[in-house]
Structure formats: C-alpha cells, structure tokens
C-alpha cells in the first residue's frame, strides 16, 4: 500500500471509530425521559401508559 492509502485508511478509521465512541458517550449521558418519539409529552409517563 502506498503512504497516501495508509494515511487515508488511518484517517477514516479514526473518523468512523471516533464517531462511534462519541455517539456512545452521548447516548449514555442522555436520560431516557428526554429521548424517544414521546419524550416528556403529557400523558406518556409509565403510570398513564400501564
């Protein structure tokens, strides 16, 4: 492989894996009450839905 190909491979590996790591961290830090289709809409709590 040429040095350019190795450099591009390393760059894209960092981009792909870096994006995966960052998205995993953000997902772990976000509470379940703020996410999803319903979010914090009134009437969508556990008591109302069960």
pLDDT digits (tens, 9 = 90+) for 5-23: 999 999 999 999 999 999 9
Q: Cα separations (Å) of 6 from 1, 3, 17, 20, 31?
A: 7, 5, 16, 21, 39
Query: For residues 37 and 35, what is the distance between their CA atoms, to the nearest angstrom?
Result: 7
Domain span at residue 13 reads 3-48
Report the chain's mean pLDDT, rounded to a whole number: 86
Domain count, the chain: 1
Express each pLDDT in 36-49 by its tens digit. Answer: 666 677 777 778 87
Residue 23 is encoded by which pair of tokens? 């998205």
Query: For residues 25 and 17, what is the distance between their CA atoms, to the nearest angstrom?
Result: 12
Query: For residues 19 and 3, what is the distance between their CA atoms, to the nearest angstrom?
Result: 24
Q: Is the pLDDT of residue 34 over 90?
A: no
**How is residue 42 annotated by DSSP?**
T
């Amino acid at each position: 492989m040429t040095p350019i190909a190795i450099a591009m491979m390393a760059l894209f590996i960092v981009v792909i894996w870096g994006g995966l790591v960052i998205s995993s961290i953000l997902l772990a830090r976000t509470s379940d009450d703020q996410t999803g289709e319903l979010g914090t809409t009134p009437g969508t709590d556990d008591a109302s839905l069960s």
